[in-house]
């Protein structure tokens, strides 16, 4: 029987345990450049079986929040290199999450103040995060009205994902990449009917709405190799004002198409991101989802996320329901989370007021257990 502490081979990634640090946006990268403070933060958490970096923009257009890092400039790649070097020195493994926010942005964050882009010109009823460059104070503001991407622009999006993936591995030193197709961002927007009302080859049918995500997945695998790519999905989350009329067949189709690509893992957010695991108004069969992937030949590790504590995570792995479990908030306040779970030690409470923006306080100053 596997436990949380049984090693796991996820594609080309060799995990010493099955406790994964989920991607967590912390807004501590001014000018989108990773820095020494971030390197300390990730190195502190390197005992995780796998670190998944905070979401990282593949292009300036992909930026949606203030002070989030990117992968599209040489200074950004060198900033990330100091992060990955530190993690590797500490014996850890780290992949980066490739991110295009789509409509979840503000014109002040976009190139030349242009509108954000989306499958369709439908505003998301949600907010993004801006920081005043003079005062340093951050605030949440409504997202801007997006414009619909033209079909001839989509190959460029695919190329941006592929180039960012290649640079992440070859230049920035990441062990792999995770394709962010969750939480109402660009790829999720194309997947779901609530944001995608296109009439061309990328809208309408399930096959059309899944087309961009699959094109990006194939391009990223081609760029960095089989076994080094994961994907994150959130079939029913309402995060960032996203919804789909019938997510079960949509995501089972997606899994069937992803199965031959040799992914390292599939990372599934169950329920509402950061909220309820079961949504009465949005039922979903996660076992059927996994079965559709396995029956189509998918061999990637099955990683689950959202609301798991040590007991629930242990049960998920020991029962065979999941191969690994990703923890978010618990890793923010417990850099030694693996040690604490192994020895059943109490957890530090997070300082929620320091989740987004700031410096070392509430970021790198959490104590480890004796």
Q: Is 185 a catalytic residue?
A: yes
What tokens does 93 get?
């493994």
Q: Identify the active-site residue in 72, 185, 286, 354.
A: 185
Is there a contact between 149 and 190 (Cβ–Cβ < 8 Å)?
no
What SS3 state is found at 26? coil
How far is 272 from 274, CA to CA, in rounded Å?
Answer: 6
d(CA 122, CA 196): 8
Tell me the C-alpha to C-alpha distance, in Å, between residue 303 and each of 30, 220, 252, 270, 286: 31, 20, 16, 10, 12
- d(Cα 341, Cα 364) in Å, to the nearest integer? 20
**Separation between Cα atoms, residue 201 and residue 180, nearest integer Å:** 22
Per-residue three-class SS string for 243-259: CCCCHHHHHHHHHHHHH
Question: 209: part of which helix (H) or strand (E)?
Answer: helix 206-209
Q: CA–CA separation, 368 vs 277, rounded Å?
A: 29
> Which residues are known to be catalytic?
185
């Amino acid at each position: 029987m596997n436990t949380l502490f049984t090693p796991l081979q996820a594609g080309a990634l060799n995990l010493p345990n099955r406790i994964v640090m989920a991607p967590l946006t912390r807004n501590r990268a001014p000018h989108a450049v990773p820095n020494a403070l971030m390197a300390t933060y990730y190195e502190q958490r390197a005992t995780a079986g796998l670190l998944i970096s905070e979401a990282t923009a593949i292009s300036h257009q992909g930026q949606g929040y203030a002070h989030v890092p990117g992968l599209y400039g040489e200074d950004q790649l060198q900033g990330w290199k100091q992060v990955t070097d530190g993690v590797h020195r500490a014996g850890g493994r780290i992949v980066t999450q490739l991110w295009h926010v789509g409509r979840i942005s503000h014109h002040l964050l976009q190139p030349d103040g242009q509108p954000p882009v989306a499958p369709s010109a439908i505003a998301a009823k949600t907010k993004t995060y801006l920081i005043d460059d003079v005062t340093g104070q951050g605030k949440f503001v409504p997202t801007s009205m997006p414009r619909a991407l033209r079909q001839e622009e989509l190959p460029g999006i695919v190329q941006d994902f592929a180039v960012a993936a290649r640079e992440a591995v070859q230049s920035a030193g990441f062990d792999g990449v995770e394709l962010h197709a969750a939480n109402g961002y660009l790829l999720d927007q194309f997947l779901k009917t609530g944001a995608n009302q296109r009439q061309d080859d990328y809208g309408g049918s399930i096959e059309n709405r899944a087309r961009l995500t699959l094109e990006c997945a194939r391009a990223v695998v081609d760029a960095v190799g089989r076994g080094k790519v994961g994907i994150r999905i959130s079939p029913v989350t309402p995060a960032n004002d996203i919804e789909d009329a019938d997510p079960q067949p949509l995501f089972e189709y997606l899994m069937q198409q992803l199965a031959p690509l040799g992914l390292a893992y599939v990372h599934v957010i169950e329920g509402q991101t950061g909220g309820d695991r079961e949504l009465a108004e949005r039922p979903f069969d996660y076992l059927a989802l996994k079965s559709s992937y396995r029956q189509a030949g998918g061999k990637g590790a099955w990683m689950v996320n959202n609301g798991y504590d040590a007991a629930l995570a242990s049960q998920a792995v020991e029962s065979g329901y999941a191969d690994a479990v990703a923890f978010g908030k618990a890793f923010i306040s417990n850099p030694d989370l693996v040690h604490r779970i192994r020895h059943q030690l109490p957890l530090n409470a997070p300082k929620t007021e320091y989740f987004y923006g700031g410096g070392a306080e509430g970021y790198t100053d959490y104590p480890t257990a004796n």
